[in-house]
């Protein structure tokens, strides 16, 4: 007999497999859909110290209560900067794709930067430097 299991990495819900003689039947039931409850912010600094005139990607990941990216989320995310030490480049707000919204950040000075991402009543901040 054959048995196969679908593993849905990062997808909300549960996955099941049925064992049948010489047949593998897949059933992907969305048993408990998690709601989007948060935004996690990160930057791609490629492991180096950021300086004036650097441009990096900022990512806002739409996550559920377990911190797992919600891959079917298309929530619009609005990015902003507190202060004048950086500027954002790109469409803003931008809808998430596969649970992630991104924008470019241009660093204008060596001062610390606070990036803000908001979608509806969910808001988060990330301090850089």
Q: What is the pLDDT of residues 45-62, one digit of tens each?
A: 888 888 889 999 999 999
From CA 116, how far away is CA 126, in angstroms rounded? Answer: 7
Q: What pTM was computed for the model? A: 0.71
8 and 71, same domain (yes or no): no
Same domain, 48 and 101: yes
Task: Based on the fold, state whether residues 44 and 13 are members of the same structural domain.
Answer: no
Contact between 85 and 114 under an 8 Å Cβ cutoff? The reply is no
- Distance, first Cα to last Cα, the chain: 57
Same domain for 52 and 104: yes
Instruction: State whether 89 and 70 are in the same domain.
Output: yes
Q: Which domain holds residue 117?
A: 38-128
| 121 and 69 assigned to the same domain | yes
Spatial separation of the C-alpha atoms in residues 42 and 126, rounded to whole Å: 7
Q: pLDDT of 59-92, one tens digit each? A: 999 999 999 999 999 999 999 999 889 999 999 9
Cα separation, 101 vs 103, whole angstroms: 7
Residues 115 and 68 in one domain: yes
Same domain as 121, residue 93: yes
Tokens of 116: 């803000």
In sequence order, the 6+-apart residues with CB closer than 8 A to the CB of 12 are 30, 32, 33, 34, 64, 68, 70
Listed residue (40, 104, 48, 49) closest to 73, CA to CA: 40
Q: Residue 119 pLDDT > 80, yes or no?
A: yes
* pLDDT the model gives residue 35: 61
Q: How many domains does the chain have?
A: 2
Same domain for 48 and 74, yes or no, is yes
Q: Is 30 a residue whose pLDDT tops 70?
A: no
CATH number, residue 104? 2.60.40.10
């Amino acid at each position: 007999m054959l048995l196969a299991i679908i593993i849905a990495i990062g997808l909300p819900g549960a996955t099941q497999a049925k064992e049948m003689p010489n047949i593998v039947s897949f059933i992907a039931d969305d048993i408990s859909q998690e709601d989007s409850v948060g935004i996690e912010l990160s930057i791609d600094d490629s492991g180096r110290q950021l300086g004036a005139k650097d441009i990096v990607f900022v990512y806002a990941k739409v996550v559920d209560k377990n911190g797992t990216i919600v891959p079917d989320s298309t929530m619009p995310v609005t990015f902003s900067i507190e202060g004048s030490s950086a500027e954002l480049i790109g469409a803003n707000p931008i809808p998430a794709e596969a649970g992630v919204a991104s924008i470019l950040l241009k660093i204008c000075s060596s001062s610390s930067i606070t990036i803000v991402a908001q979608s509806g009543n969910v808001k988060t901040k990330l301090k850089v430097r």
